[in-house]
Structure 1
Amino acid sequence: MRELDAKDRDILAILSKEARIPLKALAARIGLSRSATTERVAQLEKSGVIRGYRADIGQMDEGLVAALLLVTLVRTPSIGILDQLARHAEVRRVSSVSGQLDLVVEVEVSSIDRLNTLRDAIASHPGVEDLTTLIVLRRDIDRTS
């Protein structure tokens, strides 16, 4: 893969905030032709720098409770735990991690009661050995928005 230059970084900065921007508008903003911009975006996609385009739905209601569930599994891989997690709309992200933990599950729920219900449902899975809940008090740095 070639090294990213300033134009590539400009493209990535714009696409990270406006994934649906038309190529013509993107080209105008970075000062390249539409065909040159199209070629650069295609190369960024091909090399895996751009892995996809998605709607990143933010917190719709300021009353949501964010939490991290730290999961230790009986053994890895644990059949069905990812399927169970995917069935819950409140699960925003699941990361497999190294170390004593196996999964970090990021959730946003409407209330502490809902967090407890979700936590209990996940903890009761036969593949889950232990589950620790951390409630997010504040996001001091959040580069996802």
Structure 2
Amino acid sequence: MFEPDRIDRKILDCLQREGRISMTELAERVGLSASPCTERVRRLEREGVITGYHARVSPEALGKTLLVFVEIKLAAKSGDVFEKVRRELLHMPEVMECHLVSGDFDYLVKFRLRGMGEYRHLLGDILKKLPVAAESRSYVVMEEVKESLFLPVDR
């Protein structure tokens, strides 16, 4: 298992905050020259520690102002059923996150949508596509207090 050192942790912290930082600037911030810093970043990418670089897009700019979390409880459970549900949800572009969870329900799904009409249509589609009858419970977000992709890097 890969174990990042102090410099790797600094690199990860900086890249999470500023993914478009130049290697020269990154090297200065972590106390290396550009060449060894670039090699460390490449190693972190090869090791799967850095999984990608992304632009964070404003949902409002795209008219996706409705944030909804949905709990889905399946009527029957098996490896085959979970795989079929997984395939269905993976192919839905409106699904931002989907987690198979333990507890009173089976899946927690996050959607960003244009409005309640789109949500009503989408929920109906999901429930029709699932391989077994399902129950759902929805939570419409009234205020986003905090949303972050930043993963704290222990020092």
TM-score, structure 2 normalization: 0.75
Aligned counterparts of 2:84 and 2:64: Cα–Cα separation in 1: 31
The runs of at least 4 aligned residues of structure 1 exceeding 4 Å deviation read none
Q: Secondary structure at the residue paired with 1:68?
A: strand
Task: Choose between structure 1 and 2: higher helix proportion.
Answer: 2
Mark the CA change 1:66 to 1:98 in structure 2 (over 3 Å): closer, same or farther. same
Aligned counterparts of 2:8 and 2:100: Cα–Cα separation in 1: 30
1:119 aligned partner:
123
Mark the CA change 1:99 to 1:117 in structure 2 (over 3 Å): closer, same or farther. same
> Gapped runs of 5+ residues in structure 2?
151-155
1:33 aligned partner:
33
Once the two structures are superposed, the pairs formed by residues 79-90 of structure 1 within 5 Å of their partners are: 79-90=83-94
Q: CA deviation at 1:27?
A: 1.5
2:153 aligned partner:
none
- Once the two structures are superposed, residues 13-64 of structure 1 have per-residue CA deviations (whole angstroms, 9 ceiling, x without a partner) of 2211333433233213333111221232234334443233334434134661
Mark the CA change 1:52 to 1:107 in structure 2 (over 3 Å): closer, same or farther. same
1:69 aligned partner:
70
Decide whether the 8 Å contact of 1:75 with 1:127 is kept in 2.
no
Decide whether the 8 Å contact of 2:97 with 2:110 is kept in 1.
yes
Q: Secondary structure at the residue paired with 2:129?
A: coil
Aligned identity (percent) is: 28
> Gapped runs of 5+ residues in structure 1?
none
Decide whether the 8 Å contact of 2:63 with 2:114 is kept in 1.
no
Aligned counterparts of 1:17 and 1:3: Cα–Cα separation in 2: 18
Aligned counterparts of 1:88 and 1:43: Cα–Cα separation in 2: 33
Aligned counterparts of 2:56 and 2:88: Cα–Cα separation in 1: 22
Which structure is higher in RCO with an 8 Å CA cutoff and minimum separation 6? 2
